[in-house]
Amino acid sequence: MTYRPPHIPSSEITPKSVYLNRRQLIAGAAAAGGLALTGGSAFAATPIRIGNKVDDAKGETVTPKESATTYNNFYEFGTDKSDPAKNSGKFKPLPWAIKVDGMVGKPQTFGFEDLLATMPIEERIYRFRCVEAWSMVIPWDGFQLSELLKKVEPLASAKYVAFETVVRPEEMPGQKGYFQPLPWPYVDGLRLDEAMQPLTLMAVGMYGEALPNQSGAPIRLIVPWKYGFKSIKSIVRITLTDKEPPCSWNKAAANEYGFYSNVNPKRDHPRWSQATERRIGGKTGFFSGGGDRRDTLMFNGYDEVASLYNGMDLINTYY
Amino acid sequence: MTATSTRPAAPARPFNWLPVKIWALYIVGLVPAVWYFYLGATGNLGADPVVTFEHNLGFWAIRFLLATLAITPIFILGGPNLIAYRRALGLLGFWYVLFHFTVYLTLDRALDFSAIIPDIVKRPYITIGMLGFIMLIPLALTSNRFSIRRLGPRWNKLHKLSYLVIIAGVVHFVMSTKVLIVEQMIYIVLTALLLGFRVFKKPIMNWRKERMKAKRLAKA
């Protein structure tokens, strides 16, 4: 049976002022713990308890939520931009657990609800730049990956962090069928110092609500100075290692997608330019910002990460 | 004096619907462009309207060019003779390539030639697409009766360029995407079949002639 959303009469829709107020109450109760999650379909609309709010996009206009949640690359649900929103209805983000292992003192498996209840969740407004030369500005809700990694006590020998997306062909139609664009599971990785950078976020929500399935529910990585495909979705495993971990796109085409994949207007994709980007602006139409093209910034504008790459040739070698 | 009245009335000629049908094809063929333009202009073409419009125009260009190349094989393999519609299909393909290129220049690149020219020169998929468009121009210009008469057998030779045009179009499309999926495969297979048919056209036609001859002999 297919899922049908319940019909909600307009008289039952909570007025915005009331739910905003409720969100403040929830934020106020932050110290007391997380929120009760009912699971399943109701999950995506669950408000997230938010502490600090940080605008790391310097006041740029936030992309309308409708655009950010209907224009996605998430090949587990299909290769068209509209596929993830259309084909992710069967995906069950709860219950969920993340195994953190490898070169750590305290390997652990974290239940998603525990993370939600105990981690310091902030809103971070970040620019998001896809390797396909389009971009958005998105308010993520999440905690710093560094906070999670501290809990497992990385060993001195650990140099890299490897991430892995869930494999569920029954719930993810893109993982089924004859022609599959990538081998599963989708994997990616960071250097440990990149993973510890305060900008690196484990997002559990966007726009103040739990992540919708098409955006990587229930928990995903956000690395705002790298191309979007590095921000791996629906993570089930994090492994610390001393070797550069495999990355799905790098394995598919090494000359096109490097391990680092930092946003870099000077290093073109072999087939297209990265000097500019199209800002996805919502349902604006051709003549009201639909073709908003702007210059791409080095590190997507996050200059504070430049010191991570001192002395490295980011154009020819470490792209 | 009464000569005119004694002449028998000319039999009523049936109305020739063919030109009407051809014009209808032109109009129907332009519907996707108008429809997508309307959706895009009114903010109903999704989050990335310019590129969605641009890509759809490109897809329709390839579809019309493939349809143009299908006319001969359909006839030779025993199907209906649709040759009367071939010029309209080919011209629709040309128009869609022109629309696609225009959207790239204007809505997508905002006539920023400092970006457009390096794009065309440096990016192989854009260079190839551009070559396809350039090769299509003489075909569109000589798609009239005057040129056909004037060029004679050279017209046929010139219009074999359409084989290179479709190859350029499909390669341009496939190279512009990140992964090879079913959609690209379908266009590649159709192109391979239609061009493969040209390679094996002579043996296929000989085989048909032989078969017809054999049938006639058997009857006699």
* CA-based nearest distance A99→chain B, Å: 30
Q: Do B115 and A273 touch (CB under 8 A)?
A: yes
Query: What CA–CA distance (Å, rounded) separates A217 from A243?
Result: 28
The pLDDT, as a whole number, for residue A200 is 98
Share of chain A above pLDDT 90, in %: 70
Q: Does A71 touch chain B (CB under 8 A)?
A: yes
A108 and B CB contact within 8 Å: no
Query: Of the candidates A132, A271, A286, which has its C-beta nearest B49's C-beta?
Result: A286
User: Which residues lie below 8 Å from residue B113, measured CB to CB, with a gap of 6+?
Assistant: none
- The token duo for A132 is 């396909």
Position A171 scores a pLDDT of 96
The answer to whether B169 and B132 have CB atoms below 8 angstroms apart is yes
Name the residue among A275, A284, A286 with its Cβ closest to that of B107: A286
Longest dimension (CA), chain B: 83
Of B40, B122, B179, the CB nearest to A286: B40
Q: What residues contact A129, with CB distance under 8 A and at least 6 apart?
A: A135, A227, A228, A263, A277, A296, A300
Summarize pLDDT for A65-76 with one digit per residue, the tens. Answer: 989 999 999 999
Segment A30-47 mean pLDDT: 52
Measured in angstroms, the CA of B41 and the nearest CA of chain A are apart by 5
Residues on chain A touching B175 (C-beta within 8 angstroms): 271
Closest alpha carbon within chain A to B124: A271
Query: Residue B125's closest CA among B176, B57, B84, B61?
Result: B176
Q: How far is CA A283 from CA A91, A136, B36, in A?
A: 27, 13, 14
pLDDT at A291: 61
DSSP string, B162-189: HHHHHHHHHHHHHHTSSS--HHHHHHHH
State yes or no: pLDDT of B199 exceeds 70.
yes
Instruction: Say yes or no for a CB contact (<8 Å) between B178 and A132.
Output: yes
| Whole-number pLDDT of residue B132 | 97
The answer to whether residues B31 and B39 touch, using CB atoms and an 8 Å cutoff, is: no
Has residue B46 got a pLDDT over 90? no
pLDDT of A13: 56
Task: Check CB contact under 8 Å for B46 and A71.
Answer: yes
Q: What is chain B's mean pLDDT, rounded?
A: 91
CA distance B45 to B125: 25
Residue type, A313: D
Residue B101 phi/psi, 5-degree rounding, is -65, -40
pLDDT given at position B100: 97
pLDDT 10s digits, A87-132: 999 999 999 999 999 999 999 999 999 999 999 999 999 999 999 9
Residue type for position A256 = E
Q: Which residues contact residue A4 at a Cβ distance below 8 angstroms, ignoring those fewer than 6 apart? A: none
Which residues lie closer than 8 Å to B108 by C-beta, 6 or more apart? A278, A291, A293, B50, B51, B54
Rounded distance between C-alpha atoms, residue A288 and residue A199, angstroms: 32
For chain B, how far is it from start to end, CA to CA, in angstroms? 57
Q: How far apart are CA A40 and CA A210, in angstroms?
A: 12
* pLDDT tops 60 at residue B2: no
Indicate yes or no: CB of A278 within 8 angstroms of CB of B44.
no
Taking contacts as CB-CB distances below 8 angstroms, the residues of chain B near A276 are 115
The pLDDT of residue A158 is 97
Helices (DSSP H) in chain A: which residue ranges? 16-28, 65-68, 83-87, 112-118, 145-152, 192-196, 248-252
Residues of B within 8 A of A280 (CB-CB) are 47-48
A269 touches chain B (CB under 8 A): no
Judge whether A88 and A213 are in contact, CB under 8 Å: yes
Separation of CA A176 from chain center:
23
pLDDT: is B206 or A291 the higher one?
A: B206
pLDDT one-digit tens code per residue, B142-157: 999 999 999 999 999 9
pLDDT in tens, A177-226: 887 889 999 999 999 999 999 999 999 999 999 999 999 999 999 999 99
The nearest CA of chain A is from the CA of B31 a distance in Å of 18
| Residue matched to tokens 């090949």 | A75
**Which backbone phi and psi does A51 adopt, to 5 degrees?**
-90, -110
pLDDT score of B213: 85
pLDDT at B219 over 80: no
Question: In chain B, which residue's Cα lies nearest the Cα of A272?
Answer: B123
Cα A241 from Cα A198, distance rounded (Å) = 20
Q: H helices within B77-181, ranges in order?
A: 86-103, 113-122, 124-141, 145-151, 153-159, 161-175
Contact call for residues B62 and A82 (beta carbons, < 8 A)? no
Is B48 in Cβ contact with A280 (below 8 Å)?
yes
Which residues between 209 and 268 in chain A have a beta carbon less than 8 angstroms from any beta carbon of chain B? Answer: 252
Would you say B50 and B103 are in contact if contact means Cβ atoms under 8 Å apart?
A: yes
| Pair A72, A88: CB distance under 8 Å | no
Q: How confident is the model over B50-62, as a mean pLDDT?
A: 95
B184, B173 Cβ separation under 8 angstroms: yes
Rounded CA separation B77/A122 (Å): 67
- Residue A14 pLDDT class (50, 70, 90 cuts): low
Determine the angle formed by the axes of helices B124-141 and B86-103, rounding to 10 degrees. 140
- Identify the band that residue A5 occupies on the pLDDT scale cut at 50, 70 and 90: low
Closest C-alpha to A179, from B175, B181, B207: B181
Contacting residues of A for B48, CB less than 8 Å apart: 71, 81, 134, 278, 280
Q: Which of residues 11-50 of A touch B (CB under 8 A)?
A: none
Query: In what order do the strands lie in the sheet containing A97-102?
Result: A108-111, A97-102, A235-241, A160-165, A187-191
| In chain A, % of residues over pLDDT 70 | 84
What pLDDT digit, counting tens, does each position of A249-304 carry?
Answer: 999 999 899 999 999 999 999 888 899 998 887 556 777 655 678 899 999 999 99
Whether A25 has a pLDDT exceeding 70, the answer reads: no
CB contacts < 8 A, A to B, total 85
The pLDDT, as a whole number, for residue A218 is: 96
Given an 8 Å threshold on Cβ–Cβ distance, is A278 in contact with B48? yes
| A82 Cβ under 8 Å from any chain B Cβ | yes
**Whether the predicted pLDDT of A8 surpasses 80:** no
pTM of the model: 0.82
Chain B residues lying within 8 Å of A75, measured CB to CB: 179
Question: What distance in Å separates the CA atoms of residue A112 and residue A117, rounded to the nearest whole number?
Answer: 9
Residue contact A293–B109, C-beta within 8 A: yes
Residue A282 sits at the vertex; the CA angle it makes with A272 and A144, to the nearest 5 degrees, is: 75
- Does B181 contact A179 at a Cβ distance shorter than 8 Å? yes
Write the residue in B41, B51, B119 that is nearest to A273 by C-beta: B119
Q: How confident is the model at residue A22 (pLDDT cuts 50, 70, 90)?
A: very low
Please report which helix (H) or strand (E) contains residue A203, including its range.
strand A201-206
**Cβ(A223)–Cβ(A99) below 8 Å:** no
Query: How near does any CA of chain B get to the CA of A70, in Å?
Result: 7
Residues in chain B closer than 8 A to A291 (CB atoms): 50, 107-108, 110
Query: How confident is the model at residue A31, as a pLDDT?
Result: 35
pLDDT recorded at residue A264: 96
User: Would you say residue A28 has pLDDT above 70?
Assistant: no
Across the range B87-93, mean pLDDT stands at 97
B chain contacts of residue A134, beta-carbon cutoff 8 Å:
48, 51
Residue of chain B nearest A253, judged by CA positions: B178
Q: Chain A residue with minimal CA distance to B116?
A: A273
Tokens of A277: 């980007």
Compute the Cα dihedral for A86, A94, A147, A251 and give only its sign. Answer: negative
Q: How confident is the model at residue B12 (pLDDT cuts 50, 70, 90)?
A: confident
A33 band by pLDDT with thresholds 50, 70 and 90 = very low
Confidence of residue A318 (pLDDT cuts 50, 70, 90): confident
3-state DSSP assignment of residue A95: coil
Please judge whether B41 and A287 are an interchain contact, meaning their C-beta atoms are less than 8 angstroms apart: yes
- Whether the CB-CB separation of B162 and B97 falls below 8 Å is answered with no
- pLDDT for A7 equals 59
At residue B48, the pLDDT reads: 86
pLDDT by residue (tens digit) across B98-131? 999 999 999 888 888 988 998 899 899 999 999 9
Residue B184 in contact with partner chain A when CB distance is under 8 A? no
* Residue A129 backbone phi and psi in degrees, to 5: -120, 120
What is the pLDDT at residue A1?
44
pLDDT, mean of residues A146-159 = 97
Which residues in chain A are contacts of B182 at CB distance < 8 A? 179
Interchain pair B176, A271: CB under 8 A: yes
